[in-house]
């Protein structure tokens, strides 16, 4: 019986793979010596030298003698990523604000612009026009052209082409947002859900950097979730995954825009938090945050005022923990501003109620370390994933 030949790997493919691995290492963990890169990437020193020389020749990295030298002999040169060499455009389309930034290798935001939107009144065409203007302003300011764009949208997004199937709080349905941006920016564009990208940001730059299995739950006007399993973003069929805000937790609860009743979003979204704090619906975000921070000074009052809200949050997290068994749950958006006493009480309740929590024993609940920039940073990381893949 004849055996089909096995295709080998061409030298240029191996070199491209190794170059991408080296860039990703510098991007995520910062400068390193040639010797450290060789050890961490499992490559010999001559290969590292060839890769670094190649990247240095096009200005993507530079080298210098380490400030602190150990031992005798010639020191291994320190390799540093150059932030302005292959920048990307990061965009966070929020319900009430759009933020645009240029990010460099290493994750640093080199410059940013933002503007407010009347809630539910930002048309796709107006948002695209604003992004184009911001890109022009940033290029003029920084003197560097983005190579790719990553975009965060608060809705159900098809990753393949950036189609926004539905973004209810923006009043968008069936919007080919990726295609509109590709045409307007004349750049490759990747579009993702804001909570998915928040999870990616926390995993690469935030509190979840050392965790391989993470659930990110964020509450603003809407509630969304992102999942990292085995160090990889869980995206599901077509890129549609993570709608944790639409788990039904209270069948007798309020009507949700999705057509169901009692979704988690109706119990822990911005409107629900306003009810718990006795604030009018539509209270500006800054005032909600100020009220939460004032409560942090009085544990007993915080636990009393937010008792019902905390119950629903604990129920949602218990369901997520039983289903996905993460080692870390990260709270983002307005949930990241909850008083520490409330977060602690929710953590205790989740451990007590969850079968997985009782079995694993080490599941942590933490608040986002990236605050309001999680989706923007995640958008940049989404773009960089593709930049390094084709480097």
Q: Where are the domains of the chain?
A: 11-66+73-81, 88-197+374-389, 207-369
Could you tell me which residues come within 8 angstroms of residue 143 by beta carbon, excluding any fewer than 6 positions away? 84
Whether 11-66+73-81 shares its CATH topology with 207-369 is answered no
Contact (Cβ atoms closer than 8 angstroms) between residue 209 and residue 133: no
pLDDT at 5 > cutoff 70: no
| 4 pLDDT above the threshold of 70 | no
User: H helices within 60-157, ranges in order?
Assistant: 124-142
Report the chain's mean pLDDT, rounded to a whole number. 90
R_g over Cα of the chain: 23
pLDDT in tens, 222-232: 899 999 999 98
Q: What is 88-197+374-389's CATH number?
A: 3.30.420.40
| ∠ Cα 172 177 180 (to 5°) | 130
pLDDT at 261 over 70: yes
* Cβ density class 60-82: b for 16+ within 10 Å, e for less: bbbbeeeeeeeeeeeebbbbbbb
Report the alpha-carbon distance of residue 170 to residue 356 in Å, rounded. Answer: 36
| C-beta separation of 148 from 187 below 8 A | yes
Average pLDDT over residues 208-234: 91
Which tops the pLDDT comparison, 305 or 354?
A: 305
222 near 168, Cβ under 8 Å? yes
Q: Is-contact 288 275, C-beta < 8 A? A: no
Q: In degrees rounded to 5, what are phi and psi of residue 313? A: -60, -45
Q: Report how many helices (DSSP H) and strands (DSSP E) the chain contains, helices first.
A: 14, 16
- CATH H superfamily, domain 207-369: ATPase, nucleotide binding domain (3.30.420.40)
> How do strand 163-167 and strand 156-158 relate by DSSP bridges?
antiparallel
Distance between CA 308 and CA 274 in Å, rounded? 12
- Res. 27: pLDDT tops 90: yes
User: Tens digits of per-residue pLDDT, 128-154?
Assistant: 999 999 999 999 999 999 999 999 999
CATH class for domain 11-66+73-81? mainly alpha
Per DSSP bridges, beta strands 163-167 and 172-175 are antiparallel
Furthest-apart CA atoms within the chain: distance in Å: 78
């Amino acid at each position: 019986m004849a055996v089909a030949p096995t295709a080998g790997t061409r030298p240029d493919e191996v070199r491209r793979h190794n170059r991408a691995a080296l860039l990703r290492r510098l991007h995520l963990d910062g400068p390193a010596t040639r010797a450290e890169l060789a050890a961490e990437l499992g490559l010999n020193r001559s290969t590292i030298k060839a890769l670094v020389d190649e990247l240095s020749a096009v200005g993507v990295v530079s080298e210098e003698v380490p400030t602190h030298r150990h031992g005798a002999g010639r020191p291994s040169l320190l390799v540093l990523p150059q932030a302005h060499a292959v920048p990307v455009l990061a965009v966070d389309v929020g319900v009430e604000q759009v933020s645009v930034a240029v990010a460099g290798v290493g994750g640093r935001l080199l410059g940013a612009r933002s503007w407010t939107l009347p809630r539910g009144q930002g048309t796709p065409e107006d948002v695209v026009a604003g992004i184009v203007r911001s890109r022009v302003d940033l290029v003029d300011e920084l003197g560097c052209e983005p190579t790719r764009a990553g975009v965060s949208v608060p809705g159900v997004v098809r990753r393949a082409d950036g189609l926004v199937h539905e973004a209810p709080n923006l009043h968008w349905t069936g919007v080919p947002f990726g295609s509109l941006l590709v045409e307007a920016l004349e750049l490759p564009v990747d579009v993702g859900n804001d909570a998915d990208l928040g999870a990616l940001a926390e995993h690469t730059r935030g509190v979840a950097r050392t965790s391989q299995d993470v659930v990110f739950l964020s509450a603003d006007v809407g509630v969304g979730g992102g999942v990292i399993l085995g160090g990889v973003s869980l995206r599901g069929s077509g890129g549609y995954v993570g709608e944790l805000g639409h788990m039904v937790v209270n069948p007798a609860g309020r009507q949700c825009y999705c057509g169901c009743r009692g979704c988690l979003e109706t119990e822990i979204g911005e409107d629900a938090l306003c009810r718990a704090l006795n604030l009018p619906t539509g209270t500006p975000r800054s005032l909600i945050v100020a009220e939460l921070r004032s409560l942090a000074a009085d544990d007993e009052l915080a636990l009393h005022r937010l008792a019902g809200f905390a119950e629903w949050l604990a129920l949602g997290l218990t369901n997520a923990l039983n289903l996905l068994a993460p080692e870390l749950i990260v709270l983002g958006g307005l949930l990241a501003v909850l008083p520490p006493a409330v977060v602690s009480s929710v953590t205790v309740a989740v451990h007590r109620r969850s079968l997985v929590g009782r079995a694993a024993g080490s599941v942590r609940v933490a608040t986002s370390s990236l605050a309001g920039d999680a989706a923007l940073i995640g958008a940049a990381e989404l773009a960089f994933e593709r930049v390094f893949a084709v480097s």
